[in-house]
Structure 1
Amino acid sequence: MKPTLLILAAGMASRYGSMKQIDGFGPNGETIIDYSIYDAINAGFGKVVFIIKEEFVDNFKAIFEPKLAGRIEVDYVFQNFDLKQFGIEEEIYREKPWGTAHAILSGRKVVKEPFCVINADDYYGFDAFKKMVDFLTTEVTDSNYSIIGYQIGKTLSEFGAVSRGVCKVDAAGNLEEIIERTKVYPKDGKIFYEENGEEFPLSFETPVSMNFWGFTPAVFKITEELFREFVEANKDKPKAEFFIPLIGENLVKNNTATFKVIPTSNKWFGVTYKEDKPYVQDSIDQLVKNGTYPEKLWS
């Protein structure tokens, strides 16, 4: 059974204004999602599931189904505010959904095979998808999950500091914890993070999480239990978000599951700042010129 690619796209509207305005970065207006799906198909994924807001489903179908028909199975699930589906009767006002781990739960009724999760607007590279497919087809179990570890030096923006989840890895290559560094930046050819006004160095190869996780469907039940606890603890905090690393943190801390940190030398890029767009366009242009991708991706 081929693994499934679960794409977190419910937050795209706040970034782009509407689904019709998804930015084109490739030479023929290809989105970053296009390149991720292209790599996923070539790596061996059998299905792609978009997690979106329900009101954008028609736009998504119009954008992606003509490209993907006959290439890979496609499905759509909706992230919404309905808590009753999780056995939570209390009504809690929110302007935004509950975060990326809450989004994963949207896929629990359609994803029955090992799967991975990625962000819609991040470029990950073929190497990462191939290594994830290999893991999901040969190593994954209900107690052995994975995360792709990017070299921090290949994930930074030239236009400002970024937040990065630094992975602490044990001797066996498994995740011990993810330490959130909220202000990471290059300076004088080196990399630093700032904490309490002090500057600390990081090596170029330090592994970081860019939200590329591998699971089995067993994670849904665990995540649902954690989500109910999170809602109860944060119902008076309208901006609190239930992030995927909270799942990993809980499973590792309780010795419920291990997370293999799979290293990749791929360069990651995404649109953190508006100034990043020309850089992303240039990066994709270089990948087309060096033959990594055809100029017309879906021709």
Structure 2
Amino acid sequence: MECYIKSMYLCVNDMARAITFYENLLEQKVLIKDEIYSVFDIHGFRLGLFAYQKMGEEHIFGSNCLPSLEVESLEILQSKIAQLELCFPLTQIGDNWVVEFIDSEGNHIEMTTPIEKIEEKKMLIRQETKNDYAEVYTLIKQAFASAEHSDGTEHDLTNALRTSDAFIPELSLVAERDDKIVGHILFTKGKVGHETVLILAPLSVHPEYQKQGIGTALIKEGHKIAKERGYSYSLVLGSETYYPRMGYIPAIQFGIHVPEGMPSDNFMAIKLQENAPILDGSVIYAKEFGI
């Protein structure tokens, strides 16, 4: 059996009041508005609001099962809870700041954010230049030498993509620390139907600097630049446990067909613009990918 958790619901007393509360909290409009069951889509996860009284159900509000929402930074978390009633104070637990508040209907909700590491403050993320090419070539080769899924040509692919029509100089980024390049990310142009999308590949972090938040920081900066430049989607073929942390979900949920031979769980996408068009088609990669 394969089991997935793709949705949950909160019981509410006043649907209109609850919708207003969560639209403000999540900074997005409700996807499905209904007097019995309304739905928010949070990066592919469906959060429902259920008017249980209208269906004759009983409900005891409490804290035995808490939805947990993650935001990007402590600053955002603090702004969100500033006017809310807290039932668990802001506390450092492991690598996260954690707080619990009570929503408009009496439900207890958890909100978290990763603790910014001191090392991240010392890291510089910038656009790659031609002077970086040799160092980045070596970095990518080292990063993928022991990777579980690698064909050993990622460094050569990067060189080829830089000379292609799909190359976007502003989205070839490096991370610097200790006066050397320790990470690199590349987004190139692809097509789904008539829509230009981004392809994230490769993402590389020096073996000695892995699991320190460098890859995450590169992805977030790439997404930020991509949003500013109006790109609608980013696609990636990668770890189904790593990329969902940055909001990636199976691409098929956006109408993007899975290329033949690719595992559907590993072929993912993220919507970068709220008004991104609905897609229905296969992805066309730059010819350098050989796909």
Shorter-chain TM band: under 0.3
**Structure number having the greater strand percentage:** 2
Which structure has the higher relative contact order (CA within 8 Å, separation 6+)? 1
TM-score normalised according to structure 2 size = 0.25
TM-score by length of 1: 0.25
Of structures 1 and 2, the larger Rg is shown by: 2
